Amino acid sequence: MSQLQNKHTNLSTAIQAPLFGFDFFGKERANEATLEVSKIEKVYFYPKTQNIEGKFQIQNRRYLGNKFKLINFIKDIVNEKCGEITSFCDIFAGTGVVGEGFNDKNIKVISNDILLSNYLPLKTFLDAKNVNIDGLKKKINLLNSIKSNDDNYFSKYYGGTYFTIENAKKIGAIREKIESIAESDEEKFALITSLIYAADKVANTVGHYDAYRKNLDSINPLELLAPTINLENNTNNEVYREDANTLIRKIKCDVLYMDPPYNSRQYCDSYHLLENLVEWGKPEVFGKAKKMDRTHLKSQYCLKSAKKAFEDLIENANCKHILVSYNNTGEKKDGRSNSRIKDSEIVNILKKKGEVEVFERDYRAFSTGRSETDGHTERVFYCKVNN
């Protein structure tokens, strides 16, 4: 029996239902073949995790669009449609949980993200090959022992709002100390990753940094833990920090997985604080949210040019299979949450590359908390690339 227990829904009918709020095929419908959505009814449990005292794992971080709860759904599709693979590319990796789901010594995992605050954790979890784990733990203990009563760049701008004054002072002091104690890039990246995860755990937010909570009730003291790294599985992996449309022209893989931004909400806006902490250039910040200049980090997938960018990436992909995660946010009261690329456009673009199937399951995503997401589903568009 297929691993994907499903019932088929005629897409040309289903998309006209009020749930989605737009005509899937639009004016092009007469020229399109009927496409079915495979609605997956299988019950998925969260991926197994092992909590180890003093350590943290790649998924232990709040992040918009985090796919950790969908890993087994995505893996089922890959196992069913792609067969045995030797390379997997997560080109909009974010926290890297999808790539980690395929990380095996027999599979080359290629990960990419434009944010430095994602790139360093990706380098730590999926690309570290020589870091001394015992030495790393000792330096984490040293950083935890730091006592800081003096104001610094970080506490000046983020203390008393995003963090308690005490935690903000310690975060700034630790970030400064890392610069002087790290003996290699791998060690530095791992120490900063530990700080990112520790800071996120005590941040006075709902999981992103577009704003902070009015009541400063996240008062637990900051504590750095050691990242859980499987060095053996990272042997052949590659991690990049490039524009996805530039990188796609340089790489090849068996499976290309894409989870691009869905709407006009820029990730560099939501995670500006962590990006500032990681870059540590101490720039001037602006407004109530204390955001630095982020012009160089803006994604074209959040703009009106999203469809054109998506089409360019697919056209230049050198792979055997393509999976695209894209949700059905549809038309929301908050216009910023509306999807930039319609389902019909995704299908039409993918069909130029090969045969297309659509898999869907109900899913309640982690969002900004400003929009209603009743009836939300997560879709994976699968394309078997023509030879």
pTM value surpassing 0.95: no
8 A C-beta contact, residue 162 and residue 168: yes
Q: How far apart are CA 42 and CA 53, in angstroms?
A: 33
Q: How far apart are CA 350 and CA 356, in angstroms?
A: 7
Q: How far apart are CA 188 and CA 192, in angstroms?
A: 6
pLDDT at residue number 385: 98
In this structure, what DSSP letter does residue 223 have? -
Q: How far apart are CA 29 and CA 97, in angstroms?
A: 37
Beta strands per DSSP E along the chain: 6-10, 36-40, 55-56, 87-90, 108-112, 226-227, 238-240, 253-258, 319-327, 354-362, 377-385
Out of 3.40.50.150, 3.90.1150.10, 3.10.180.10, 1.10.10.10, select the CATH number for domain 1-116+234-264+303-387. 3.40.50.150
Instruction: Choose among 190, 202, 199, 197: nearest CA to 140.
Output: 190
Position of tokens 């997938």?
Answer: 301
C-alpha 269: how far from chain center: 14
At 213-224, the pLDDT tens digits run: 999 989 999 999
Phi, psi of 50 (to 5 degrees): -125, 110
pLDDT-derived band at 46, boundaries 50, 70, 90: low
Q: Tell whether the model's pLDDT for residue 370 goes beyond 60.
A: no
pLDDT-derived band at 283, boundaries 50, 70, 90: very high
In this structure, what DSSP letter does residue 305 have? T
Q: How far apart are CA 276 and CA 116, in angstroms?
A: 9
At 321-341, the pLDDT tens digits run: 999 998 755 454 444 456 789
Q: In 159-260, which ranges are continuous DSSP H helix?
A: 165-181, 185-202, 244-247
Lowest mean pLDDT among 239-248, 259-268, 314-323: 259-268
Q: In 256-342, which ranges are continuous DSSP H helix?
A: 267-270, 272-279, 306-315
Q: How far apart are CA 183 and CA 244, in angstroms?
A: 31
Report, as an integer, the average pLDDT of 361-368: 63
Position of tokens 């010594």?
Answer: 105
pLDDT at residue number 22: 29
pLDDT-derived band at 375, boundaries 50, 70, 90: low
pLDDT at residue number 32: 46
pLDDT at residue number 201: 97
8 A C-beta contact, residue 155 and residue 208: no
8 A C-beta contact, residue 242 and residue 114: yes
CA distances from 95 to 61, 157, 186, 193, 290 (A): 8, 25, 17, 11, 23
Report, as an integer, the average pLDDT of 37-64: 82
Phi, psi of 320 (to 5 degrees): -100, -30
Question: Domain segments of the chain: what residues?
Answer: 1-116+234-264+303-387, 129-228+270-293
Tokens of 356: 């297309």
Lowest mean pLDDT among 11-15, 101-105, 362-366, 377-381: 11-15
Q: pLDDT averaged over the chain? A: 87
CA distances from 145 to 17, 103, 133, 163, 193 (A): 58, 34, 19, 19, 18
pLDDT > 70 fraction of the chain, expressed in percent and rounded: 82
8 A C-beta contact, residue 128 and residue 238: no
pLDDT > 90 fraction of the chain, expressed in percent and rounded: 73
pLDDT at residue number 12: 37
Query: Taking the CA of residue 284 as centre, how many other CA atoms within 13 Å lie in the half-sphere pointing to its CB?
Result: 2
pLDDT-derived band at 376, boundaries 50, 70, 90: low
